[in-house]
Amino acid sequence: MPATPQNSNMRLFDNGFDNRFARLPPAFYRRIDPTPLAAPYLVSVSNDAAALLDLDAAETHSERFLNMLAGNLVPPGAEPLAMLYAGHQFGTFVPQLGDGRAILLGEIVNAKRERWTLQLKGAGETPFSRTADGRAVLRSTIREYLCSEAMHALGIPTTRALGIAGADEPVYRETPETAAVLLRLAPSHVRFGSFEVFYARQQHENLKLLADHVIEEHFPQCLGTPDAYEQFLIEVVERTARLIAQWQAVGFCHGVMNTDNMSILGLTLDYGPFGFMEAFNPGHICNHSDDQGRYAYENQPYIGLWNCSRLAQALTPLIDAEKCNAALARYEGAFLEKHAALMRAKLGLAQAMEGDDTLVSDLLGLLAEHGTDYTIFFRALSRDSTDAARDLMANRSAFDAWATRYASRLAAESSNDTDRHARMKAVNPKYVLRNHLAQVAIEKAEQHKDFSEIDRLLALLQHPFDEQPDFETYAAPPPDWAKDIAVSCSS
């Protein structure tokens, strides 16, 4: 039976939902209620994400909140719907995708006048589910929940994750698993593929309506200008370039950079087979389903541009092709500028100087040669001397030669060691969501309904740059058994 609206004293409901996306014509979505979960239970709630909606702990642990989280309660004004989009999946265009297991409830304006849209992921079948069940499993929701909040703490633009509801309802993937629903937040869930679908259908009026909607709501600086659509495209291209530069600098691999997984706002969207680089390898493929390595770590910047070119193509009914190409030409400069600044910061360099790019690329070459753990190395380099970083290298003499150049470079800007080490620790995380850490939390949750490790990881990852002495083992290299962990598109 469909979920039904109920009254509540919760501020989340009292504030009232709206759904401006539902004001667009029906061609943009299909109205659908979430499919309720039988006997749901609360798995975890992010207090940091709850604060975005002005919710306190009492509210997020109430029965009514749990029922909304599970899809059993539709708040007044929510107008749930599944969004339509298309997309290039592993380079091949799929003319219709859409939210197959996600349902947009609506949006809330918080006390700061920030507008957040709430989307349930795993809330049941939609008209776009094709032959799938529309459910998510506990395993994948835990991964997305933890990584969303971890990425935010790292300063990387991302969707946020408010909480997880679980249930004993079976869901069949490679093996039987249990159902879960993730409630995620973003200013918008519009994707590159949201534009591609109307371009492919030659529905140019709908394409214009969507562009006008997104510009009005999220790119007001473009309003009222004669080249509003071009400026919008430039902004998206540059945001995407800067986002992927941040991924590369922290060693994050997305795994499925299909155009339907690319946020129009430049947010990290749709966490599936992601991974943080451990043994550094530019050709690392984190997605077991990516047979050709299309989305390997070193390819992410190029795929970002390729995806932007698909968006630009979709916007050609609104923007002259030559101007689209000019907008795309901004990508490389935006990426290189951001990536260079981030890597200088990781090395504690306060100024840009000639030769910095070579210093960085030579270091990455050494890390690749030795298969050095990316996160551990840069954290070690943030210490009072380079000895800890040197100890991670198999070829000490090669590192010593690089370290001599590094020391000369620091001297060239009269670097203050104390200040530099503090700056480096503020940008080189000690803790990232390694796959084995997530796996331990998943197994405790699946086997024992013990969600304590999820909350422990959440608290840890919300402060990735702090020492946190009680959690030293969480910063250690992965154990041998972690080599057997494989994440795929079902993750």
| H or E element at residue 120 | strand 115-121
Residue 104, beta-bridge partner list: 81, 119
Task: State yes or no: pLDDT of 95 exceeds 50.
Answer: yes
Q: In this model, does residue 5 exceed pLDDT 60? A: no
How high is the pLDDT of residue 489? 76
Determine which helix (DSSP H) or strand (DSSP E) holds 89, and give its type and residue range: strand 87-89
- Average pLDDT, stretch 322-328? 98
What mean pLDDT do residues 420-441 have? 98
What's phi and psi for 337, nearest 5 deg? -65, -45
Q: What is the CA 467 to chain-centroid distance, rounded?
A: 24
Over residues 91-103, the mean pLDDT reads: 96
pTM for the full predicted model: 0.96
Cα–Cα distance, 275 to 296 (Å, whole number): 11
For residue range 151-190, list pLDDT tens digits in order. 999 999 999 999 999 999 999 998 999 999 999 999 999 9
Spatial separation of the C-alpha atoms in residues 486 and 491, rounded to whole Å: 9
- Residues 63-74: pLDDT tens digits? 999 999 999 999
Q: Give the start-to-end residue ranges of the domains of the chain.
A: 11-189, 193-341
DSSP bridge partners of 487: 287
The answer to whether residue 9 scores a pLDDT higher than 60 is no
The span from the CA of 177 to the CA of 171, in Å, is 5
pLDDT digits (tens, 9 = 90+) for 119-150: 999 999 999 999 899 999 999 999 999 999 99
**CA–CA dist 431, 475 (Å, integer):** 6
H-run or E-run covering 333: helix 330-346
Please give the distance of CA 428 from its chain centroid, rounded to a whole number. 19
Pinpoint the alpha helices (H) of 347-434.
356-370, 374-381, 387-390, 396-412, 417-425
Q: CB neighbours (10 Å) of residue 31?
A: 13
pLDDT attached to residue 411:
97
Asked about 470 being catalytic, the answer comes back as no
The catalytically annotated residue of 260, 270, 290, 373 is: 260
Tell me how far apart the alpha carbons of residues 391 and 375 are, in angstroms, rounded to a whole number. 14
End-to-end CA distance of the chain: 28
How far are the Cα atoms of 166, 368, 475 from residue 373, in angstroms, in the given order? 34, 9, 11
Token duo for residue 63: 């029965």
Give CA–CA dist 292/54, Å, rounded. Answer: 45
pLDDT at position 76 is 85
Q: Give me the pLDDT at residue 8, please.
A: 41
Res 335 pLDDT > 60? yes
Can you give the pLDDT at residue 6?
43
Is residue 353 pLDDT above 50, yes or no?
Answer: yes
Instruction: Give the pLDDT mean for 95-109.
Output: 95
CB neighbour list of residue 12: distance below 8 Å, 6 or more residues apart: 53, 55, 59, 65, 68, 75, 108
Average pLDDT on 226-255 reads 98
Q: Would you state the pLDDT for residue 17?
A: 87
At 1, is the pLDDT very low, low, confident or very high (cuts 50, 70, 90)?
very low
Q: What burial letters (b/e) apply to 230-266, b meaning 16+ CB within 10 Å?
A: bbbbbbbbbbbbbbbbbbbbbbbbbbbbbbbbbbbbb
Mean pLDDT of the chain: 95
- Tens digit of each residue's pLDDT (9 = 90 or more) over 286-317: 999 999 999 999 999 999 999 999 999 999 99
